[in-house]
Chains A and B, each alone.
Chain A
Amino acid sequence: MNVEAADLTRRLGRTQAVAGVTLTVDRGVYGLLGPNGAGKTSLLRMLATVLAPSSGRLRLLDGDPGDHRQCKAIRRRLGYLPQNPGYYPRFTVVDFVEYFALLKEIPAARVPRAVAAAVERVGLGDKATARLRTLSGGMLRRVGIAQAIVNDPDLLLLDEPTAGLDPEQRVAFRALLRDLGQTATVIVSTHLVEDVGAACTQVGLMDQGRIVFSGTPDELTRRGEGTDAAGDAPLERGYSAVLTEARA
């Protein structure tokens, strides 16, 4: 398993952001759904080795992120796109992706090809030399995705990756997710249940720091059948039904 978490908790000040998450994820695309403040971002930050768990056990890519040497090995195989990724306005697209490629210790000789491939993969080949300050929000999002995939990660963590993308870009991005999921573990945190339905093989639903549902998108859809749960689409009704049940 690429991600193994057991009773994972994280307290941020007086808030219990993650309250005992147990999760195992292997190759494929795993969608992480949940309302605002459910703990998705905190969980993703822990999986990205940015935030240390308060308690519990976490193993990523068969390594212990608490051990410095193993953590470095994990990070070499990790891609991460935070919810609000920043950027250096004076960098070009290629500069920015190359910067991260170098910080991920991709061998220098492979960097130009890896950067070009990542930029092409997110459809920014024609903007490769554009300064980041000249790009739209959607394009910046794609630059963020490019830096996340530049090292061909075995574990890719994407926090709200489709925010700001137009419908055409979202369709393309879902195809990219499916493609990446063939060889890697992709965990996508999102509010948009249609993204989950279209691209994810597994889905988890978080609420109040806990995972209250884990299964396939079809299983989540079925949880909404025959209920009066709110939602315009079957998956949305499943989402609402699980949340209502969990809170009850």
Chain B
Amino acid sequence: MSFSFGTARLFRLEVRRSALPWLLPVVAILFWLIVYRRSDLFPPVWSIRARAMQTATVSVFLPIVVGAAAWMGGREARHGLTDLLASTVRSRWYRQVALWAATTAWSAVAYAVCVGALYVAIGRQASWGGPLWWPVAVGAACLPVFTALGLAAGGLLPGRFTAPLVSVAAFFALETSAQLIHGDHSPWQISPLVAGPWNGGADQDLATFYPYLSDLPRVQIAFLAGIAVVLVAALGLPATAGSRRQRLAAAALTIAGLATATTAAALAGTGRLDPHGMIAIPAVHDAAADRPVPFTPVCSAAAVPVCLHPAYAYELATVDAALRPVLDQLAGVPGAPVRVSQGAVRYSSDDGGGIGARLDGRQPGGDSPEFRMVLPNQLPGPPLNAENLAAAVRAMTARDIVMAVVCGGREVTDAQEAVIGALTGDPHAPPGSPVAQAAQRFATLPAADRHAWLVRNAAGLRTGGITLEQLP
């Protein structure tokens, strides 16, 4: 009983006198600058922001926590207490483990506060879903590794410059680890910076239509736990660290940690890009996670409503405004959609390590009442602001909708191209060409006449039975 109380008192003492709290303001400032403010640049969608948080937070915490731990780890030799402490009953390993636990506890508190604040902010902005905890767990699992790494370095080289040097070295090592990733089969995906397919960028729309796959995070956490055990156990290996029994236990733990970390890295190397955009690892994959997440779409109030996934509710007004001119002209036209709905993205990896993305499933053809679309912000690449989003929707989605009505999937005739150009206001034909002239002529018709003509001739236009000259 007294053992555990004594250990608890020692832990409390180390917590009270830790150097890490002095660095917490630095952590807070860096987190605010690098993670919190940057988070606002992403769409308020949990999956996007949570994954960006994981990558950025690990980078912010690494140098500070490693540096502080290295400073603490070298304190016995730096302050000339080696002899005095060696004459006490408790082993050096015991003291280092207490110090490790206290430093980890402080870093965990800082991490919880920072991530908590960010998640509250995301929660206020996100229109659908709840917090994703796997990215938080991966970031948290890094902390014991960072502190153990710092303590090991500080204990080994107890100099004044060890802390800054080891923190810079650790930062570069971590960043380099992610740069070595090539494709979805890379074992380097084990890097805690990775929160999805690395080559596709950090901004894809994952885990919205389908659950967040925990395959990679689970393997990463196992890897980090293994590395933490290796580093903490390695502190107990030197002859001066403790008794023979303790050193044997430390050796056994080191081997177990190494085996865990190696296995986890090997598993990460068996990963593949899931059709829904995440990394699936067959050995730990749960097939239940492949089922789509049920949701009720949010729709605009119009004759032809635009319906989006509720996570994208913030884009509804922009998308609806961008599509409305086209949809109003097509309302009631035979073959025109009665609803435009957002679909999920299907991802695929190519041989070059890149990622392809397209609409999941096929576009309903023929007289289907629904047109399915993918928003630009669902695709790999930087997020678009409202203005650019509207432009992209007008250029791509509006054209696709008109094409679906007037072309029916066949090769586009001149007449069809002219109608598409007239309805979208974006003629692809060269200026002055007969197609461009026909498009301009058709576009200048009164809206009611144009609509009436379309209602009468949509079927013929779709089958290619109407020529350019027959256009009014």
User: Which residues in A have some Cβ–Cβ distance to B below 8 Å?
Assistant: 45, 48-50, 68, 72, 75-76, 78, 80-82, 84-91, 95, 98-100, 102-109, 111, 144, 147
Contact A108 B88 (CB under 8 A): no
A111 and B6: CB pair below 8 A? yes
Cβ A108 vs Cβ B80 within 8 A: no
B residues 15-45 touching A (CB-CB < 8 Å): 16-17, 19
Check B6–A85 contact: CB distance below 8 A.
Answer: no
Let me know if B243 is at the binding interface, CB within 8 A.
yes
* B89 and A103 contacting across the interface, CB-CB below 8 Å: yes
- With A50-B87, A82-B84: A108-B5 Cβ-Cβ less than 8 Å: yes
- Separation of A98 and B14 alpha carbons in the complex (Å): 11
A88 lies within 8 A of B81 (CB): yes
14 examples of A-B residue contacts, CB within 8 angstroms:
A50-B87, A78-B87, A85-B80, A86-B79, A88-B17, A88-B79, A88-B81, A90-B17, A104-B88, A105-B6, A105-B89, A107-B2, A109-B5, A147-B84
Provide the residues of chain B in CB contact with A103, threshold 8 Å: 10, 85, 88-90, 95
- Which residue of chain A lies nearest to B94 when distances are taken between CB atoms in the complex? A103
Q: Which chain B residue shows the least CB distance to A147?
A: B84
Shortest distance between the CB of A63 and any CB in chain B (Å): 13
B351 at the interface (CB under 8 A from A): no
User: Once A and B bind, how many residue pairs between them come within 8 Å at the CB atom?
Assistant: 82
User: At the interface, yes or no: B83 with Cβ under 8 Å from chain A?
Assistant: yes
Contact A98 B79 (CB under 8 A): no
Closest B residue to A107 using CB positions: B2
**How many Å from the CB of A202 to the closest CB on chain B?**
22
Q: Which residues of B contact A108 (CB under 8 A)?
A: 2, 5-6, 8-9
Determine which of B9, B10, B87 lies in contact with A48 in the assembled complex, contact meaning CB atoms within 8 Å.
B87
B210 to nearest A CB, angstroms?
51
**Contacts A48-B87, A68-B243, A78-B87 given; 11 further ones with Cβ under 8 A?**
A48-B83, A49-B86, A72-B89, A75-B87, A82-B83, A89-B79, A91-B17, A95-B17, A103-B90, A107-B2, A109-B5
Interface pair B13/A99, CB less than 8 Å apart: yes
Mark interface residues in B97-138 (1 if CB within 8 Å of A CB, else 0).
000000000000000000000000000000000000000000
Residue of A nearest to B95 (CB): A103
Closest to B244 in A: A68
Contacts of B8 in A (CB 8 A): 108
Instruction: Report yes or no: A102 in contact with B87, Cβ–Cβ below 8 A.
Output: no
Given contacts A68-B243, A102-B9, A104-B89, contact A85 B17 (CB under 8 A): no
Whether the Cβ atoms of A98 and B9 lie closer than 8 Å is yes
Known: A45-B83, A109-B2. A99 touches B10 (CB 8 A): yes
**Whole-angstrom distance from the CB of A159 to the nearest CB of chain B?**
9
Q: Which B residues are CB-close (under 8 A) to A106? A: 6
| Nearest B-chain residue to A75, judged by Cβ | B89
Q: Decide if A98 touches B5 in the complex (CB within 8 Å).
A: no
Complex CA distance for A65 and B128, rounded to whole angstroms: 67
* Option from B10, B16, B79, B90 in Cβ contact (under 8 Å) with A87: B79
Q: How far is the CA of A98 from the CA of B8 in the complex (A)?
A: 13
Chain B min CB distance to A102 (Å): 5
A99's nearest neighbour on chain B, judged by CB, is B13
Chain B 36-94 residues near chain A, CB threshold 8 A: 75, 79-81, 83-90
Residues of A within 8 A of B10 (CB): 99, 102-103
Question: Which residues of chain B are near A95, meaning CB under 8 Å?
Answer: 13, 16-17
